Structure 1
Amino acid sequence: MLKSIFRACILAGATSLLPFSVAAQASGDIKVVSTGSKPISDAKSQPAKPKGYDRLGKADYECIYAYDVVATRKNGDKVNEEYATILQFNPSVAKFTDLNAFRVDSLESMSGADLEAVKKLQDALGRVEYLFTGEVFQNSPEGKTRYVDIITPNTVEYAEDFAPFDWTLSEDTLTVCDYPCMKATCSYGGRDWTAWFTEEIPAGFGPWKFAGLPGLIMKVSDSEGIHTFTATAFRKGSGDIVKAQNSQLQSTSRDKFVKAKNYFEEDPMKRIPVESIKDVTVFKGGAVLINGVRLPKRPNGYTPIELQ
């Protein structure tokens, strides 16, 4: 469907045939930040553009997590989606993001980065079927968690208190990634969660926004088994914890973000305001950027991690 839409756009102008819904603005405070139109560009021969990065400290350790989502297609069929994600952390701060996006940022943030090598990684990123689009910065700044994500064509950030979880501990145990773990439960975002943490790694961080336990969280799943994060590898850190600089980053509240994100993802192509589109870029790997912001692939629809 996307290919036919963009082929039509090339003939009729980059924005004239894209669906539009005025109600997109009513779901939150995400604003249109640019107007106008340009022809669609093909990025297969364009060099990578270096970005600026803020460095939040060295990553002492890294934990790789398989993020499994049980999605429900429109016909009711259940299908499993698996995302590769990574948590970088030191005693003060942690960052959780997609593993493939982490590789791009790690290379691109290096002094004198090879732009052709970055381009190859970006092309590979465009072919990834399941991409976790969010970036979570735990205890950055101190006492806060910052969440950065996309509501195409915008990139949005909000902050909330670090580790806003009312954990209940129990004596149950489980071994995850060869580490003995203890059980904790909480409710958050409209779901009930069970976490398994290990005191052998005394870090109060975990996957996504989960944090605040007396050890690294190695596994966490909601009560319905729809969203599950499971540690698959733990290792020494390999560089800095970085945050990309973005002058177009919009700030909002968590409640407004969740409402706007879930509304947009129900039908992204119909909920991108047409007047916000400045340019569309199609990568050889299949990725589509609108105003430089990725349009997520959702072959099975969107399964929100936060319901409220």
Structure 2
Amino acid sequence: MNKYFLIVCLAICLDIHAQDDYDSMIAAMEAAKLQQDSIDMSRLVVVYGYECRTQDADGQAVVDRMKVAVQIGNHVTRSYPYRKFREDADAIDYLSPNNYPVLKAESYCFMPEVWTGYPEGKQTVRDHIMPNHYETCQALQPIRWTLKEDTVTVGGYLCQTATCELYGRKWLACYADDIPTTAGPWKLGGLPGLIVAAQTADGIHRFRLVSVQRIATPIYYEHNAITIKLSEEKLIKRRQKIFGNKHYPKCPTYYIPDRQSLNNSADVTFGQVGDDSFCIINGVLENHDAHVYQPLEIK
């Protein structure tokens, strides 16, 4: 029996009527809920700008951009869209029509949520392929970095450089060893200092530091989220099969045969911004068009 249920039962049994007691009960319920969902507290919150160089549905060169937040705790690091971090921190509804441009930008970038160190010694990833949400949980494997003697200044920090190959892509990273953490954006990490910039050798994917704040915020993991669990290898292959298909840029839902059935079975919200209508399915924006898929993981 969880704490949330116990608090409710206690409130009923004692027949609490006084406003002060009622307020205390609500506060206790919220604290119990927070305890259930929070797996660590951040000591640093780092924001990165992410860029992906690709092509639109007509083959024209475009650069997709979004912000990524990384919460760095004592045991767990969470990397995920900055929009969702603001949602958690400020209780803002970013699924509203006013935030349609942010959702649209995110839909082009294919950025998953990554918990490093949760569970202990593992890495958990959540991603979506409409209409489903997927989750993988793998043993945490150290990245084989090659440390270089080169130095560069990024965002006011004097940084060392390092290279690695990760999921079939070669990366160059700049890290600041005066910020004592091994964290970085996405699945990048394991260097003797905060990663403040990283890019693939071909220049397709880039992360660059926007800000660092020493603030305590709960690091959440939704234990009751509805996800399909599978191996990391299978999720990578599934993404490539669906998003890498030639039909995807012009028709992102080409692989969903029965759209009406989807509308009836999923959590679907329709909206309008100017002349542009949109649809949010299970919390994810459905685009009418898309950009050519540039996977972070090739293999």
TM-score when scaled to structure 1? 0.74
**Contact 1:184-1:195 at 8 Å conserved across structures:** yes
Residue deviations 1:115-159, cap 9 Å, x none?
xxx346644443313115421111111211111011111110102
Distance 2:137 2:228 in 1: 12
How many correspondences in the alignment? 249
1:89 alignment counterpart: 72
**Contact 2:87-2:94 at 8 Å conserved across structures:** no
TM-score when scaled to structure 2? 0.76
Are 1:73 and 2:61 an aligned pair? no
3-state SS in 1 of match to 2:173: strand
Residue deviations 1:223-248, cap 9 Å, x none?
00000000011112252111234442
* Letter matched to residue 90 of structure 1: G
* Letter matched to residue 271 of structure 1: Y
Seen in structure 2, the aligned counterparts of structure 1 residues 149 and 248 have a Cα distance that, compared at 3 Å, is same
Deviates more, 1:62-71 or 1:261-270: 261-270
Are 1:201 and 2:179 an aligned pair? yes
Percent identity for Structure 1 against Structure 2: 29
Distance 2:140 2:200 in 1: 20
Deviation, 1:62, is: 0.9
Are 1:130 and 2:105 an aligned pair? yes
3-state SS in 2 of match to 1:102: helix
Distance 1:105 1:123 in 2: 18
Are 1:270 and 2:254 an aligned pair? yes
3-state SS in 2 of match to 1:147: strand
Deviation, 1:276, is: 5.2
Higher relative contact order (CA 8 A, sep 6+): 1
**Contact 1:136-1:147 at 8 Å conserved across structures:** yes
Residue deviations 1:37-60, cap 9 Å, x none?
xxxxxxxxxxxxxx9872021111
Deviation, 1:296, is: 4.8
3-state SS in 2 of match to 1:127: helix
Distance 2:271 2:223 in 1: 22
Where has structure 1 moved over 4 Å in runs of 4 or more?
none
Seen in structure 2, the aligned counterparts of structure 1 residues 247 and 206 have a Cα distance that, compared at 3 Å, is closer
Which structure 1 segments of 5+ residues have no match? 1-50, 109-117
The structure with the larger Rg is 2
**Contact 2:48-2:211 at 8 Å conserved across structures:** yes
3-state SS in 2 of match to 1:244: coil
1:57 alignment counterpart: 40
2:148 alignment counterpart: 170
3-state SS in 2 of match to 1:130: helix
Deviation, 1:294, is: 1.2
2:280 alignment counterpart: 289
* Letter matched to residue 105 of structure 2: Y
**Contact 2:38-2:221 at 8 Å conserved across structures:** yes
Residue among 147, 156, 166 paired with 1:188: 166
1:77-156 to 2 correspondences below 5 Å: 77-108=60-91, 118-119=92-93, 122-128=96-102, 129-131=104-106, 133-156=111-134
**Contact 2:83-2:94 at 8 Å conserved across structures:** no
